[in-house]
Amino acid sequence: MNVHNAEIIISAVSPAQYPETDLPEIALAGRSNVGKSSFINTLINRKNLARTSGKPGKTQTLNFYLIEDALHFVDVPGYGYAKVSKTERAKWGQMIETYITTREQLKAVVSLIDLRHPPTQEDIQMYEFLKYYDIPVIIVATKSDKIPRGKWNKHESVIKKALNFDKKDDFILFSSQTKNGKEEAWQAIEKYL
Ligand SMILES: Nc1nc2c(ncn2[C@@H]2O[C@H](COP(=O)(O)OP(=O)(O)OP(=O)(O)O)[C@@H](O)[C@H]2O)c(=O)[nH]1
Ligand SMILES: [Mg+2]
């Protein structure tokens, strides 16, 4: 998809605030700082529509972005940010679970994992959670620019093995820096629209 129009619709914390439309939705999940907001910006050719920063925990709400009047991207707050209280973590869990298990428009989740490191326990839990609810998953391994090309395969294998990766899902090597994987990511997403 070649995107010319994208805008933020709402930052929601509860279902009452989700936009009332039938448009298909693609949600972004992943550890804080893994590159979820950067992924959105890369796919829609914008520098900073989805707010990014070096400070983890920047995205705190479910942010709905309308893309070309064709779909919503839903930027989800990252998990695994150490400086978050137990209460806040529980609130986060509730918000994500409610959204993922009740939102009928949700067509697939892009689950982002840092290509440089083995998946964390939370990355694995997120994947298992999505498989349990039978939600199609697109694994996007981010920051490929930080790993020499010759080592991509090895890192991909480590991630797939740890996740017990389901071959039905897509696996895409990605970099918002070099735009590596941008076309593949759109192709994977468009299958669900
Ligand atoms: N080198 C490199 N840096 C990246 C890439 N993607 C994101 N970053 C950097 O990683 C940091 C975090 O990126 P964000 O897109 O804000 O991450 P996020 O997952 O939205 O983080 P939260 O909103 O805190 O959950 C920023 O400094 C980005 O510039 C990438 O593909 N390559
Ligand atoms: Mg973010």
> What pLDDT, on a 0 to 100 scale, did the predictor assign at position 83?
73
Q: Is the pLDDT of residue 13 over 90?
A: no
- What mean pLDDT is predicted for residues 108-117? 98
Report yes or no on whether pTM surpasses 0.85.
yes
Say if ligand 1 is within 6 A of residue 41 CB. no
> What pLDDT, on a 0 to 100 scale, did the predictor assign at position 47?
87
Atom of ligand 1 nearest to the CA of 40: 15
- Distance (Å) from CA 78 to ligand 1 centroid: 11
- Could you read off the pLDDT of 119-138 as tens digits, one per residue? 999 999 999 999 999 999 99
- SS3 state at 92: helix
Say if ligand 1 is within 6 A of residue 176 CB. yes
> What pLDDT, on a 0 to 100 scale, did the predictor assign at position 53?
64
- Could you read off the pLDDT of 92-109 as tens digits, one per residue? 889 999 999 999 999 999
Q: How many Å apart are CA 179 and CA 153, to the nearest integer?
A: 18
How large a percentage of the chain has pLDDT more than 70?
96
Q: 65 vs 5, 31, 43, 54, 128, CA distance in Å?
A: 10, 20, 12, 21, 26
pLDDT band, very low/low/confident/very high, at 82 (cuts 50, 70, 90): low
- If 0-12 CB within 10 Å is exposed, 13-18 middle and 19+ buried, where does residue 94 land? exposed
- Could you read off the pLDDT of 25-80 as tens digits, one per residue? 999 999 989 999 999 999 999 988 887 766 666 667 899 999 999 999 999 988 88
- Could you read off the pLDDT of 137-183 as tens digits, one per residue? 999 999 999 999 999 999 999 999 999 999 999 999 999 999 999 99
Say if ligand 1 is within 6 A of residue 146 CB. yes
> What pLDDT, on a 0 to 100 scale, did the predictor assign at position 54?
66
Residue identifier of the C-alpha nearest atom 2 of ligand 1: 143
How large a percentage of the chain has pLDDT more than 90?
78
- Distance (Å) from CA 62 to ligand 1 centroid: 17
**What are the domain boundaries of the chain?**
6-190
Say if ligand 1 is within 6 A of residue 53 CB. yes
Superfamily of segment(s) 6-190: P-loop containing nucleotide triphosphate hydrolases (3.40.50.300)
> What pLDDT, on a 0 to 100 scale, did the predictor assign at position 57?
63
Say if ligand 1 is within 6 A of residue 36 CB. yes
Q: Is the pLDDT of residue 11 over 80?
A: yes
- Which of 144, 176, 178 has the most ligand 1 atoms within 8 A of CB, as the residue to mutate? 176
Q: How many Å apart are CA 76 and CA 99, to the nearest integer?
A: 10
